[in-house]
Amino acid sequence: MSKSWLQRALLAGAWAGGRSRLAAPIDLGIPGSQGQDVADWILALGALGLCVLPDAESGGRQWILEGAGFDGLPHCTVALGESGTAARLATALLAYAGQPGHNRRLGVSGTLLQRRSPALVACLREHGISVRTAGPGTWPLEVVSGELPAALVLRDPGSSQEVSALLFAIAFEGGRELRVEGPIPSRPYVDMTLAVLAGWGVAFDVQEGCTTRFVRGTGAPAPPDVFPLECDASSAAVAWAGGLLAGIPVRVGGIPKSSLQGDLAMVEHLAKVGVAVDFDRDGG
């Protein structure tokens, strides 16, 4: 499964509260079976009130999400593992979740202890959030929650995940705005975040330019009955490359032609070197 889609959808289920379902084109397995990053993310969100259960009647292809929402989130400590996506999403969201004045500690492990997210930290500090780091990287850190301002400004992001994290943060309240000064790396992943939030009833007006403006609509979050997931384009790219080298046809299902996953660009590169590529109705 696409970890990018799955991590965002799980967060939406926790953040919005209520009951929803994630549906996959293949067997999802039990929660936690989709790799260590996803397993750590489910545990972290579980500490914030999310319950993830496999739907026994779906043939293993659906998970049921029961979220508590973040309105009453108190002081908390969250272990995030080694996922940069999870760390950035949680940092921004916990900075503005619930009432101001609550301490939120975010722990990480492995290589994430050395990684940094200076643009995100600078944005939070500029807009009233106390951020304390405890090592050479950005994490582990502690934030003290604050009031969500009318607009956030993010300057020269080093990762699309910083933009996605702040989009989740301003999704708390209608009419809030995120302004991004400078180019946005890996923009399709921001579009993926917008698609997930739209699936939970939160729409954004996007105004492109030297400064990209994301203005959150006024609608209240509405958990979907079912939110569709995709298979992983990164893994598919390896299979496609193997087929090219071996000279054999390879079919990968569960990834629509309209997918926002960046690694789907592999299909275009294969076509340019003469490989016959075809998408069927099942997204394969």
Which pair of structure tokens corresponds to residue 262? 């960046």
Percent of the chain exceeding pLDDT 70 equals: 99
Reply yes or no on whether the pLDDT at 284 is more than 70. Answer: no
Does the pLDDT of residue 252 top 90, yes or no? no
Low-confidence winner among 59-63, 102-106, 135-139, 240-244 (lowest mean pLDDT): 240-244
* Region 192-202 average pLDDT: 97
In whole angstroms, give the CA distance from residue 76 to residue 68: 15
What does the pLDDT average to over 221-234? 89
122, 164 in Cβ contact below 8 A? no
Sheet hosting strand 204-207, strand order edge to edge = 151-155, 177-181, 211-216, 204-207
> Does the pLDDT value for residue 150 go beyond 80?
yes
35, two tokens: 């790799």
pLDDT confidence band for 205 (50 / 70 / 90): very high
Mean pLDDT score of the chain, rounded to an integer? 91
Q: What is the DSSP letter of 147?
A: P
Mean pLDDT of 17-30: 91
Q: Where are the domains of the chain?
A: 3-227, 230-272
Q: Is the pLDDT of residue 283 over 60?
A: no
What mean pLDDT is predicted for residues 68-86? Answer: 94
Specify the CATH superfamily of domain 3-227. Enolpyruvate transferase domain (3.65.10.10)
User: Are the CB atoms for 45 and 76 separated by under 8 Å?
Assistant: no
Q: What is the pLDDT of residue 239?
A: 77
- pLDDT reported for residue 268: 79
Q: Tell how far CA 241 is from the center of its chain.
A: 27
What is the length of the chain? 284
**Residue 214, CA distances (Å) to 7, 41, 221, 231 in order:** 21, 26, 17, 28
| Residue bearing tokens 């889609």 | 5
Evaluate if residue 94 carries a pLDDT over 80.
yes
Compute the distance between CA of residue 23 and CA of residue 30 in angstroms, rounded to an integer. 13
Whether the ω angle into residue 100 lies within 30 degrees of 0, i.e. cis, is no
Would you tell me the crossing angle of helices 3-16 and 187-199 to the nearest 10 degrees? 40
